Amino acid sequence: MITQDDDAEILAQARAGFIDEAHEMLQQFEDAMLVLESAPDDGESLNAAFRAAHTIKGTAGLFGFDRVVHFTHEAEALLEALRSGERPLDEPVMTALLESRDQIGRLLAELGDPDGSPETEALGRELVGRLRVLRGAEALSEPEPAAAAEAAFAPESAEAVRPVWHLSLRFLPDALRAGLDPLAFLRYLNKLGEVIAIRTLVEAVPPLDEIDAEACHLGFELRLQSETASLADIEGVFEFAAEDSDVRILPPGSAPAAFESLVEHRCGDDAAARATLLSIWEQLGLQFALRESVAPPAEPDAEPVVVRHIERRSAEIAARSDRRSGEGDRRQQGRDRRAGDETRFVRVRADKLDHLIDLIGELVIAGSGAQMVAHLERSAPLQEATERVMTLVQETRDGALALRMVPIGETFGRFQRVVRDLSKQLGKEIELVVTGGDTELDKSVVDQIADPLMHLVRNSLDHGIEPTADRLAVGKSATGQLRLNAYQEAGAIVIEVSDDGRGLARERILAKAIERGLIPHDADLADSEVWQLIFLPGFSTAEAVTDISGRGVGMDVVKRNIEALRGSIQLFSQTGHGTTTRIRLPLTLAMIDGFLTMVGGVHYVLPMSAVGECIDVPPEHGASPERISGTFNLRGEILPWLDLARFYGVEPTPLAAGARRSVVVVRHVDQRVGLVVDRLMGEHQTVIKPLSGIFSHLKALAGSTILGSGDVALVMDIAGLLVHAQALSRSSPSTLARNRA
């Protein structure tokens, strides 16, 4: 039995679903408008923007979100003027529509507040005024001439003053099965005007013992009085019901031929049905002389353009639905609607997906424990069974992680609007070029990388790309180029933000660093070391503080946020040719394939993607066993080595007879380091868990994990280890002795 509490919960879930869908529609709206800015004749993009706005308005109306409905209606009306050719697309229209998108977003954010904030209301009133002026609201509100209709129909006096639309509705049998509520559509019409007369047709309802409770047999004839509603507004009400209804709309002042055509469509050769329909119209207020029969329908040209238009719109909607479901012949095959359409996507709450990943992580740990028990029992059948289970667990883990993988192109797409607005604000011509948008990474990483990318994009637009005059003076094109690129490399994802601007000013950076006492006057730094100075807190060489950048509080935050994701950031620049910022991130933050080692009785896990090879301890280490770090020759290449036991201030694990320590060569970006460990223990599926704040003083650790035995293993931060290894390898022996952890 369904209770009121159940209804409330269902409604709350539906509203939450509407908000999610509305934000998706807003993004589609913005993307379509940005395409139109460079291709004003792109009719498909214009239709996409209109559909997005109409979907938001229609669904908001079903939930009673009137503020969203009323404002979105104004933006939709301007889009309809663009579609009909009554208004060209120019800069004022583009700006107003993009600002309307932002206003709808603000209204959605205030759905919990029925009155809304005064600032949002003021912005809305100002925008509505601009939208109406741009579309010529006065001209659109004038009703069509009614002189031709008055020859056969003499409407009531009120209709002569205010325009009245005639709607003839027939819902098809599958309407209820498809989740449609005829009453909801009729209620929504009252938002466009006033339903002054309505008649429900029940002649098609079968006898009670033959009725199908899930089938719909209702029809309606009604009169809608409205001074502001347009054809697009009214037909849009029934857009979602296009597949399961037959809707005919006659505008105010329709000619007699329009009504004659409608009678022919509804009744055909059935004289009794014709007489009944004419009687109903008379009861609705249409005054005319009843005739024995209605004249034959007019030639096709006389059929109201309204009917043809809504049929075309219905066909477009049906075709779009067919493309989405991949079943264009669904209706012809008569599939039972109760079974539902084949769906390709399922909307899942993020917290449920996170819970699934957590459970699979625990399953991985439990599987490792079972595998260890099987190994200790020395039972071949048990070991074989646990191996099979672990194979399935690994496949399940990979499949679950794949559910969280999303293309980064969605994040890149958000910067189209940023580049457009800031380039106009700065008076620069800038083109955004996006490549690698289909590269996938974990949704949690995508969410956290958006803000750092925003800092980098704004810096490139403000400081990197020169004004047009400066570019022309040095022989560059007037239009600057900002590039966003992503690709996978060695188990990580690389994101590059590049511009073709002036590049970083090495001398200015050095001067600022010397001025602040960060480096000595005689410091001899490589370019890569100079660029790293930019990431120091508060460091900025901007000559003026702007609303866009130059406050010195951005790049250090960028680096800190990226390192929190176990990533790294590098800068590359060439004077006069531009700057590239390269970000390297792990594909996922939840689980990794690891390589298990032991140092000083503690287990350490190295990301398998970073492990290059394992070798014996080099002679250079044996010559100075008390040192923390040094360098060694690996097949002609000089690499730093780092003794993890000395680094963490513990004694190496005593080795069994004949055993020896090893070096694991790991790489990060284009750098490598040899890590001296006590024991190599092989591959290990690693569920990464965060370390508590009390362990924040420990160096170069990215987290922890639980082994099958119940022991805790520490996950190494390879980037942090490289920094320490390089710093220690350049230090003197006396300094090294003091650098124990």
pLDDT in tens, 375-411: 888 888 888 998 899 889 888 888 888 888 888 888 8
On whether both 181 and 308 belong to a single domain, the answer is: yes
Residue in the structure block whose two tokens are 């008569």: 334
Q: Let me know if residue 331 belongs to a domain.
A: no
Q: Let me know if residue 337 belongs to a domain.
A: no
pLDDT one-digit tens code per residue, 168-205: 999 888 888 877 888 888 888 888 888 888 888 888 88
**Percent above pLDDT 70 for the chain:** 82
Q: Is the pTM of this model over 0.85?
A: no
pLDDT one-digit tens code per residue, 654-669: 777 777 889 999 987 7
- Give the span between the Cα atoms of 555 and 565, in whole angstroms: 16
pLDDT one-digit tens code per residue, 563-609: 888 788 889 998 889 999 999 888 777 778 889 999 988 899 998 88
Last residue of a domain, one of 108, 140, 172: 140
* 177: helix, strand or coil: coil
Residues 6+ apart with CB under 8 A from 20: 347
pLDDT band at 425 (very low <50, low <70, confident <90, very high): confident
On whether both 175 and 320 belong to a single domain, the answer is: yes
Residues 6+ apart with CB under 8 A from 293: 271, 274
Rg (CA), the chain: 35
Instruction: Name the phi and psi angles at 217, rounded to 5.
Output: -130, 20
Return the CATH number at 527. Answer: 3.30.565.10
On whether both 225 and 297 belong to a single domain, the answer is: yes
On whether both 24 and 95 belong to a single domain, the answer is: yes
Residues 6+ apart with CB under 8 A from 165: 193, 223, 224, 225, 226, 229, 234, 249, 250, 251, 252
pLDDT one-digit tens code per residue, 453-488: 988 998 889 888 999 999 999 999 999 999 999 998
The range of the structural domain enclosing residue 111 comes to: 14-140
Residue 346 predicted with pLDDT over 50:
yes
DSSP run (H or E) holding 194: strand 194-201
Residues 6+ apart with CB under 8 A from 346: none
Q: What is the 3-state secondary structure (H, E, C) of 106-124?
A: HHHHCCCCCCCCHHHHHHH
Last residue of a domain, one of 586, 613, 636: 586
Residue 139 predicted with pLDDT over 60:
no
- Give the span between the Cα atoms of 127 and 166, in whole angstroms: 32
Angle of helix 256-267 relative to helix 271-283, nearest 10 degrees, comes to 130
Poorest-confidence range of 245-254, 310-319, 686-695, 703-712?
310-319
Return the CATH number at 79. Answer: 1.20.120.160
Q: Let me know if residue 1 belongs to a domain.
A: no
Number of domains in the chain: 5
Q: Residue 297: its pLDDT value, please?
A: 40
Last residue of a domain, one of 263, 289, 324: 324
Q: Which amino acid does the sequence have at 228?
A: T
Q: Which amino acid does the sequence have at 698?
A: L
On whether both 558 and 613 belong to a single domain, the answer is: no
Q: Let me know if residue 336 belongs to a domain.
A: no
Residues 6+ apart with CB under 8 A from 271: 292, 293
- Give the span between the Cα atoms of 192 and 66, in whole angstroms: 11
pLDDT band at 360 (very low <50, low <70, confident <90, very high): confident
Q: Let me know if residue 424 belongs to a domain.
A: yes
Q: Let me know if residue 2 belongs to a domain.
A: no
Residue 339 predicted with pLDDT over 80:
no
- For 732, half-sphere exposure in the C-beta direction (CA atoms, 13 angstrom radius) is 2
Angle of helix 415-426 relative to helix 4-38, nearest 10 degrees, comes to 50
86 close to 94: Cβ distance less than 8 angstroms: no
pLDDT band at 335 (very low <50, low <70, confident <90, very high): very low
On whether both 309 and 425 belong to a single domain, the answer is: no
- Give the span between the Cα atoms of 55 and 72, in whole angstroms: 10
65 close to 73: Cβ distance less than 8 angstroms: no
- Give the span between the Cα atoms of 491 and 441, in whole angstroms: 11
On whether both 388 and 518 belong to a single domain, the answer is: no
Q: Let me know if residue 3 belongs to a domain.
A: no
Q: Please state the length of the chain.
A: 741
**Percent above pLDDT 90 for the chain:** 12
540 close to 551: Cβ distance less than 8 angstroms: yes
On whether both 664 and 576 belong to a single domain, the answer is: no
- Give the span between the Cα atoms of 263 and 243, in whole angstroms: 22
Return the CATH number at 731. Answer: 2.30.30.40
Residues 6+ apart with CB under 8 A from 162: 225, 226, 227
On whether both 267 and 240 belong to a single domain, the answer is: yes
On whether both 281 and 371 belong to a single domain, the answer is: no
Residue in the structure block whose two tokens are 């082994």: 707
For the chain, the average pLDDT equals: 78
On whether both 223 and 370 belong to a single domain, the answer is: no
On whether both 386 and 273 belong to a single domain, the answer is: no
Q: Let me know if residue 338 belongs to a domain.
A: no
Q: Other CB atoms closer than 10 Å to residue 381's CB: what's the count? A: 8
